[in-house]
Structure 1
């Protein structure tokens, strides 16, 4: 696949993507390394502490994921206040099997249309397989990785359509940053949005 920006042509190669699971729900249930009270001590949750300490006083010693599961099952929408706006979406698990140690520019393509452009300055195994390809419970929370949740949930909807990951490698870290900026300044892609 090629992409033309300001009369420059960039070549991307398709990388096979393997889906392991789809429609994974309530991932945040499994964040149980802290209690509700410990969570309230984190600065990102201070506003929730003011609002909820008295209401949920009997639950302060509960593990956070278990507590939010309790709220969701009781149809108490306050559980959503702990999550980023994509944290309760359905997710999938996927991976690539080649170019794991490479870095560069990558794009997600659905039905031959570029949906997202991103940069990877460390390695694709970490960025794609461990970042976007598997949503960890912490990512679902307001102090987690909203972008990972957002993209993964969108990719989850593509498993029954033509979808691919394309990579452009062999660039230095500085070139990667400049190239991503150039591409995104010249084009708008549907999935490249601010998620915070």
Structure 2
């Protein structure tokens, strides 16, 4: 897959995605490292504390995932207040096996069109196998990784998504960020939240 940018052609190498699971639901049920009370004490949840702490005062010592599970099962939509806007989507789990130690620009492709462009300044293994490819319960919450949830749920619901890398292992973090910014300034991609 090629992308032309300012007279230069970037060639993305296709790296196979290996799917481990699809249509995973309610991942946030598994976030049980804090109670509801401890969650309310976090500054990101201060608004919810004002709105909901009194209503659910009998559940303050309940583990957060268990509490939200009980709300969802009771059809109490207040559970959604704790999640980012993609946190209750269906997700998948996938990995890559090639270019694990490389870094650079990556893309997700569907129907021979680039749908998403991102940057990786660390390594693709961490970015994909431990990031976008596996949604952890914490990602689903308002203080979690909304972008990871958004992209993973799109990949889950799409067919034949491909992953491409433009390797820049010999480049600095600044150069990688600048190239991503240039690409996103000159193009619009359907799955990039900041450009949609």
Please indicate the TM-score interval, normalised by the length of the shorter structure. Answer: over 0.9
SS, match of residue 130 in structure 2: helix
Q: 1:107 matched to which residue of 2?
A: 107
List aligned pairs for 1:64-143, cutoff 5 A. Answer: 64-143=64-143
CA–CA separation in structure 2 for the residues paired with 1:194 and 1:57: 38
1:162 offset after TM fit, Å? 2.5
1:167 matched to 2:181? The reply is: no
TM-score, normalisation: structure 2: 0.96
CA contact (8 A) 1:112 1:162 kept: no
CA–CA separation in structure 2 for the residues paired with 1:107 and 1:113: 10
Give the aligned length: 193
Residues 5-39 of structure 1, C-alpha deviations (whole Å, 9 max, x = no match): 12111111000110110000000000000000000
1:143 offset after TM fit, Å? 0.2
List aligned pairs for 1:42-81, cutoff 5 A. Answer: 42-81=42-81
TM-score, normalisation: structure 1: 0.96
CA–CA separation in structure 1 for the residues paired with 2:46 and 2:194: 23
CA–CA separation in structure 2 for the residues paired with 1:100 and 1:117: 18
1:68 offset after TM fit, Å? 0.1
1:2 offset after TM fit, Å? 1.1
Note the residue ranges of structure 2 that are not aligned, 5 or more in a row: none
List aligned pairs for 1:26-37, cutoff 5 A. Answer: 26-37=26-37
RMSD between aligned residues: 1.1
CA–CA separation in structure 2 for the residues paired with 1:189 and 1:3: 12
Q: 2:189 matched to which residue of 1?
A: 189
CA–CA separation in structure 2 for the residues paired with 1:164 and 1:145: 22
1:96 offset after TM fit, Å? 0.2
Residues 17-67 of structure 1, C-alpha deviations (whole Å, 9 max, x = no match): 101100000000000000000000000000111111111010000000000
CA–CA separation in structure 2 for the residues paired with 1:183 and 1:58: 51
CA–CA separation in structure 1 for the residues paired with 2:189 and 2:145: 20
CA–CA separation in structure 1 for the residues paired with 2:151 and 2:110: 12
Residues 68-109 of structure 1, C-alpha deviations (whole Å, 9 max, x = no match): 000000000000000000000000000000111110000000
